[in-house]
Amino acid sequence: MSFPKKGKFFPKENGYTGNGRHEPDNWFAAEIASTLKRSLGDSRAGAKIVASWTGANEKTVKNWFAGRYGPSGEHLVALARHSDEVLGMFLAMAGREELMVAMKLAAAEQAIEELLAAVRRLTVED
């Protein structure tokens, strides 16, 4: 069985879908690409890491890095689970930056508690 001629390639970058329509600029894909490049670098290793996090095909992930397409909901959840940068970008896009601040504050409080516990153990041992 052979592939149909229309099904082997991704649509062109200029937004033309092949059916006479033009899609609007994909700002979501551009934001994802920018965030992935900032957090993992624009390398093959970064694409492999993201592919392992999400279970997505490496070619698909490379399209995310290039900003051609954005991840599906399931893949976005996996990215946010593994990357604080992606989570922060998603919350900012949703207008919920305060949630990221709250998470960072909770993490800082946890780190302070662990540090205090370590200091107390040192003073008890002396």
Bridge partner residues of 22 (DSSP): 16
In a domain, 19, yes or no: no
Same domain, 73 and 28: yes
Q: Residues 45-92: pLDDT tens digits?
A: 999 999 999 999 999 999 999 999 999 999 999 999 999 999 999 999
Number of domains in the chain: 2
Instruction: Say yes or no: 49 and 73 in one domain.
Output: yes
Domain that holds residue 45: 24-95
Q: Is 57 in the same domain as 114?
A: no
- 83 and 30 part of one domain: yes
pTM attached to this predicted model = 0.65
What pLDDT is attached to residue 125? 74
Q: Is the domain of 31 the same as that of 71?
A: yes
The three-class DSSP label of residue 16 is strand
